């Protein structure tokens, strides 16, 4: 990993905040806290080869070997837990691409037709679920 963060120890679980070197703060502002730190999760090829390769490819394209790890949900909604939740969130928000395991799904012109139908379906589904009483 490039010298982005101060300190030598690995952080495999995002448990600590590390200072971000000053020259990187403007290049990765989405992860830098107001105090100049970031919660870091390091990735090693031996322990997570797919994510490691993704980071290397992203670095080759952008010059930045960092991705944001965040919860997948919309404010006020529960965290996405299933592929169905992920597709609904993808179709009803401004997300452009969705990766499900080894599949990349991208929006195209059909999204403008499908998104309102998905919103109606999920709204009706929520109403039904709320009005259903356990037997």
pLDDT tens digit string along 20-72?
999 999 999 988 999 999 888 888 899 889 989 999 999 999 999 888 877 88
For residues 66 and 3, membership in a common domain is answered with yes
pLDDT at 2 over 60: no
- Are 39 and 88 in a shared domain? no
Q: Is 12 a residue whose pLDDT tops 60? A: no
Specify if 124 maps to a domain.
yes
Q: How far is residue 69's CA from residue 129's CA, in Å, rounded to a whole number?
A: 31
Of 82, 86, 60, the closest CA to residue 73 belongs to 86
pTM equals 0.57
Residues 63 and 4 in one domain: yes
How high is the pLDDT of residue 95?
A: 86
- DSSP β-ladder status, 17-19 and 37-39: antiparallel
- Let me know if residue 76 belongs to a domain: no
Which residue, of 43, 70, 97, is where some domain finishes? 70
Percent share of the chain, pLDDT over 90? 25
When divided into structural domains, the chain yields a total of 2
Residue-level pLDDT at 71: 82
What is the domain range of residue 100? 83-131
């Amino acid at each position: 990993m490039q010298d982005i963060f101060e300190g030598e120890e690995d952080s495999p679980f995002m448990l600590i905040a590390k200072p971000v070197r000053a020259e990187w703060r403007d290049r990765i502002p989405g992860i830098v806290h107001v105090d100049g730190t970031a919660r870091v999760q390091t990735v090693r090829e031996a322990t997570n080869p797919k994510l490691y390769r993704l980071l290397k490819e992203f670095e080759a394209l952008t010059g930045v070997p960092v991705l944001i790890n965040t919860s997948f949900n919309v404010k006020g909604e529960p965290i996405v837990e299933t592929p169905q939740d992920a597709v609904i969130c993808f179709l009803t928000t401004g997300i452009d691409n969705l990766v499900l395991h080894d599949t990349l799904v991208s929006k195209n012109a059909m999204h403008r037709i499908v998104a309102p139908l998905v919103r109606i379906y999920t709204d009706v589904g929520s109403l039904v679920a709320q009005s259903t009483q356990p037997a």
